[in-house]
Amino acid sequence: MFTLTSPPVQSGLIPLLTALILVGLVRLIGGSGRGAALAGLVLALAVLASYWATFRVPAFPPVGATNKLFYIVLIATIAGLTADLVAREGWAGRAVALLAGPFAALWIGAEKGLEAPWPAGVAVLIVVAVTAAAGWRYHAQAKRSSEIGASILVLCLAMAACAFMSNAASSAQLAGGLAAATGGFLLWNWPKARFVFNNAALGAALALIGGLAVQLALFVPKLETLALLPLAVIPFLVPLGARLVKGSGLVSQGLRSVVVGLLCVLPAAAAVLIVFLTLPEATSSSGY
C-alpha cells in the first residue's frame, strides 16, 4: 500500500512530507530573514518530487503535455528563486508571477490552439489571461500566504476531481501533488502566516495550474473543453477574506484563510458539477 508506486504516496504523502519537513529546514538554515523569505521554494520542490515519484524525470527536450509539465515547473521555479534572491518585490518577481501561467499554457497549448481556434484556441487564451491576472494579484498579496494557500489548495483539489472523473489519473495526481505540497506549506502558515508565498512558490504553482488547465481542456477527450471555467474565479476571491474578516489577531488571521477556502469551494463545486453533468455516458459500468 505505502510504496512508491502507490498514487496516494506519489501525490499525497511525498509532497506533503517534503513541504512540511523542508520548510522547517530552510527556515532553520536560512534564519528568520533569508530563510523565511525562501521557505516557499520548498512548495516548488515538493511538486517536483511528486512529479518524479509519479513519472520520473522525462527526457529533454520534452515531447507531449505531461512531459513538458516537469520542465515548465522547473523553469518557473528557477526563475522564481532567482527573483527571490534578487528582490522579491521587484519587477523580476512580478514578471515571474505574471508570466509563469501563460508560459505553461502557451508551451502546451499553442500548437493545438492554432490548429483549432474554437474551442481549443479560446481555452488557451482564457488560461493565459486568467493565470496572468491571478499571478499579478497573488504577487501583490504574497504576505497573505495562508489565504493564497487556501485558494490554491481548493483550486487544485477541484482540478484533481475533474481530471479523475475524466479518466485522466496522472493529471489528477499532479493537481493532487500541488494540493498536498500547499497543504504542507499551509501547516506552517496557519493560523499565523509565517512565510511569504514567494516567487518560486507562485511561479511553480501557477505554471502547473496553467499547464494542467490547458492539458485538461485540450487533451482529455472526456472532459468538456470549457467545463473548468468556474475555477477561473478562485484566485480573485483572496481579497474577500480581508473584507469579510477584519482584525489582525491570531483568530482573525486563521479565520480569514478558512473563509477564503470556503468561498473557493463554491466555484470549485460548480466546476466539478459541470464536469460530472457533461461527462459522456460510460461505455462500461465496472471499475478496473
Partner 1 sequence: MTIRTTLLATGAAALAMTAIPAFAADYVIDDTHTQANFRVSHLGYSTMWGRFNEESGTVSFDPANPADAAVSIVIDAASIDTNHGERDDHLRSPDFFNTAEFPEITFQSTSVEVTGDNTAKITGDLTMLGVTKSVTLDAVYNGMGTYPWDDTTEVVGFDVSGIIDRTEFGMMYGVGGIGTEIQIDIELEATRSLN
Chain residues that interact with partner 1, rule: CB under 8 A: 3-5, 54-56, 58-59, 62-67, 112, 166-171, 215, 218-222, 282-284, 286-288
Minimum distance of partner 1 from residue 25's CB (angstroms): 28
Q: Which amino acid is at 46?
A: A
Closest to 39 in 3D by CA, of 141, 253, 211, 187? 187
CB closer to partner 1 out of 2 and 288: 288
Cell of 220: 482529455
d(CA 39, CA 46): 12
CB closer to partner 1 out of 70 and 195: 70
Q: Which residue has the cell 515538493?
A: 46
Q: Which residue has the cell 480581508?
A: 242
CB closer to partner 1 out of 165 and 187: 165
Number of other CB atoms surrounding residue 254 within 10 Å: 16
Minimum distance of partner 1 from residue 279's CB (angstroms): 10
246 SS3 class = coil
CB closer to partner 1 out of 33 and 61: 61
Q: What is the DSSP secondary structure assignment for residue 285, as one 8-state letter?
A: -
Cis upstream peptide for 117 (omega within 30°): no
Minimum distance of partner 1 from residue 123's CB (angstroms): 12
Closest to 92 in 3D by CA, of 79, 101, 102, 104? 79
Write out the DSSP string of 35-75.
IHHHTTHHHHHHHHHHHHHHH-PPPSS--SHHHHHHHHHHH
Minimum distance of partner 1 from residue 9's CB (angstroms): 11
21-55: b (≥16 Cβ within 10 Å) or e = ebbeebbeeeeeeebbbbbbbbbbbbbbbbbebbb
Minimum distance of partner 1 from residue 275's CB (angstroms): 14
CB closer to partner 1 out of 5 and 32: 5
CB closer to partner 1 out of 132 and 209: 209
Under 8 Å between Cβ of 213 and 228: yes
Minimum distance of partner 1 from residue 55's CB (angstroms): 4
CB closer to partner 1 out of 252 and 278: 278
Cell of 54: 509519479
Minimum distance of partner 1 from residue 248's CB (angstroms): 45
